[in-house]
Structure formats: C-alpha cells, structure tokens
Structure 1
Amino acid sequence: MYNSQLPTDGSQTPNGAPMGSRVSDFGQRVERHGNERIRLLLKSFGLRTSLIRLKVIDALLVAAENDRRLGVRGVHSQLLDLDIPLSFLSVREVLKRLCAEGVITFNADKSYSLHPQAAAVLNSD
C-alpha cells in the first residue's frame, strides 16, 4: 500500500529520528517549535497563518536560542537548509510585513528579531 510519508527512493526513515527534528551543527537534536504557539501569536496580531510566516518566525526563534542574529539572507539560507524552497523575495516580503505589523523588529545591524510584545505572547503559555 502507498504511504505518502515514506521516501519514494526506497530508503527508510532512520529509526528513532522523529520527523520534523534536525541535528544541529553541534550534533545535538534540535526540536522544532510548536506551530500552535506561532499560530496563536499571529492570531493575536490579527494575521492569518501561512506556512511561510510559520517557518520565518520559527527560523528567527531558533536563531535567538542559539544567540545568533539573522538578516534576510540568513533567514533564507536557514530555510533552504531545512529543504523549504522559498524564494529570497518571498522571505524578504514576509519579514517586511511582520515588521509592519509589529511581530518582529528590524535591528540596526540589519538583522531581525522577535518584538518584545510578541515574545511576551509566546512566553505567556
């Protein structure tokens, strides 16, 4: 029987490696943020949920946890590394829109970070 979640090249998913998790540069498993938290964040700012918004915010959260700052190119590169094929222009436009709505801030070093009010919404759980 066909299963759309299994690879089509005949290879098997490694045992013990849950889908949606990645191994970081330091060999530690990095668990992805729950999309539900980000959905609630977007809703609290009056924004619709979209895959690109979820992924961009998640990329910024992961970077912040690793004490890194990402600009447009950094966010785009991180998404490509996760096999999320979004165009550079799409990422830039989403970052601009999230800034305009107050979800993220554009820093002096041309990086983006979560706005303190948005961080408070995420941490209110």
Structure 2
Amino acid sequence: MYNSRLPTDGSDAPTGVSRAPDAGVFEHTVERHSNERIRLLLKSFGLRTSLIRLKVIDALLTAAESDRSLGVRGLHSQLLDLNIPLSFLSVREVLKRLSSEGVITLNADKSYSLHPQAVAILHNEPGATASFKA
C-alpha cells in the first residue's frame, strides 16, 4: 500500500518529521562531561585516559563524597555493582599505577584515596598542578 508520507528512496524514515533524540545519547553526553575533569587530572599527571582509570577515580570520588574509604576489594565490588565488569587484578594494577604516579594514596588501613594535590586539580583550585617525576 502506498503511503505518501514515506520517502520513495528506499529508506523508511519519514521526512519532515523530527525524531526525538534517544535518551541514551543524553546520558552518554552527561557522563562524558562529568569525566572531563578526571581526564584533565590524568593529563596533568602525564597519564593517558583509559576507561578503567576513569571508573576507578570516579568510584574513589563517590566514596570520598560519602565519607567512605575503599580498598581494592571494596572498589572492585563497587564497580561490579555498577555493572562494570573489570577483573580484580585489573583494578589492583590500576590502583598501583595511580598510586605510583601520585594521583592516589594508599592509606594505613589499606584503603585508597585521592592525593590532596589531585583533589585540588579536580576542584580547579588556583596554583594546583601536578608535579611530574623526573
């Protein structure tokens, strides 16, 4: 049956009708925007951005805002609860690397937290820069 509102070029998308954008597009945009400050943090420490680094730092930020501390197991569990399928070993290695670069610190209770200098960079405090290792 012929429909005058459908295009005749083989596509089945109506012309002249604006489609509502997919809600997932907005969620992705919001996530990218919130990760931008973490990207800048990693860059200021001379580190490349990776998904696992973004997720680990984001989880540490979330824990700090809730006045909680997270060790390797706690962080791994939190990431699994968020449906982020990372292995325990991957999380541990990322924490070790971020710690060795000075982005995070290993506390006496074996929990991790962001280094005060990293917090200052994330909050755009004046004069906050990362000191690179020679």
TM-score range, shorter chain: 0.7 to 0.9
Describe how 1:89-104 pairs up with structure 2 within 5 A: 89-104=89-104
Q: CA deviation at 1:19?
A: 3.8
- Partner of residue 44, structure 1: 44
Q: Distance in 2 between matches of 1:81 and 1:72?
A: 14
State the alpha-carbon separation in 2 of the partners of residues 81 and 37 from structure 1.
Answer: 23
Q: Distance in 2 between matches of 1:108 and 1:67?
A: 16
Give the number of the structure whose residues are more often helix, by fraction: 2
Find the aligned partners of 2:111 and 2:97 in 1 and give their Cα distance: 15
Tell me, which stretches of 5 or more residues in structure 1 are unaligned? 1-14, 21-30
**Paired residue secondary structure (2:85):** coil
Compute the displacement of 1:37 (Å).
0.3
Do structure 1's residue 53 and structure 2's residue 53 form an aligned pair?
yes
Partner of residue 115, structure 2:
115
Partner SS for 1:38: helix
Which consecutive segments of 4 or more residues in structure 1 shift more than 6 A? none
Q: Partner letter of residue 87 of structure 1?
A: S
Partner SS for 1:49: coil
SS at match of 2:70: coil
Alignment gaps of 5+ in structure 2: 1-22, 126-134
User: Superposition RMSD on alpha carbons, in Å?
Assistant: 2.2
Figure out how many residues of one structure are paired with residues of the other and give that number: 101
Q: Please give the alpha-carbon distance, in whole angstroms, between the structure 1 residues aligned to 2:27 and 2:91.
A: 24
Question: Distance in 2 between the 1:123 and 1:35 partners?
Answer: 13
Q: Which residue of 2 aligns with 1:70?
A: 70
- 1:70 offset after TM fit, Å? 0.1
**In the TM superposition, what whole-angstrom CA distance separates every residue of 1:89-109 from its partner, at most 9, and x where no partner exists?**
000000000000000000000
